[in-house]
Structure 1
Amino acid sequence: MPLLPVCLFAAVSLAASGCSAAGPTREEQATIAVHELCESLGDLRAHTGELADLDGTRAGVLDVRDFRQDISDDLHNVREEARTVRHPTAALANAFDSLSRAVDILPGDATGARATEQIMPQLQALDRAVAASQASVKC
């Protein structure tokens, strides 16, 4: 098939569907950025909740540390997306740092139940910080 009719068909299809080569407007970009930030905040809150609900009969400190890494990855994503919408993340970072320090000092032989019990205040503080960010962004 010749290239010209294919290109002409594509151009007409785009024009008919209301799409333009200019891309999303600033307002649309802002909406997308907020949506992505809300998704990442949701992931962060979900992992924090999963750690708080860790099955103490089958889990141990290594599992807690794995969840801490997941939470750290989520926080990294939140920071990247928050930068786009100029949303502050200091409270989230401080709450995570407190949680991370609490995980670092857990005894190596602690069960998952004992570990989550010891870090529960830090988990709750992180959850409150995430909830406040979600409310601030209007997720």
Structure 2
Amino acid sequence: MVKDPGQRRAPVEGPRTGRAPLFWTRLFRKGYLADKDPRDPRISPLYADTSKHSVDTLIFTAEYDVSASETEEYAKNAGETGQAAGRRVILRRMRGCGHGFDKSEKNAGLRAEAYSIVVDLLTRNLDDK
């Protein structure tokens, strides 16, 4: 939430379908933030202290999503601090899709893949206990 929406770029340029116009994105951002510091980790997890996160963290991004780059930076930071504490950060960038990819029937295969990874991770963690 720190960068102006006009400066945010997806890792891969893709269709703009479903993206809100910049005017609305800025308006919603202003309403959401009000007078709050956008670097507050409750607003922008990129600035969170990741040293106390859970054992496993699973993060999905989408290559056409303007939030993907910052989310992947967060995953990198969390992975670096987590490694020393024996925690894993698993990052998967889903190809050929945008934000909310799992909500669209056209991405049913990607949704199945992502949900399968979630189930495998949860099952593995439950079996370890």
TM-score normalised to the size of structure 2? 0.34
Higher strand share: 2
- Larger RCO of the pair (alpha carbons < 8 Å, separation 6+): 1
Which has the higher Rg, Structure 1 or Structure 2?
A: 1
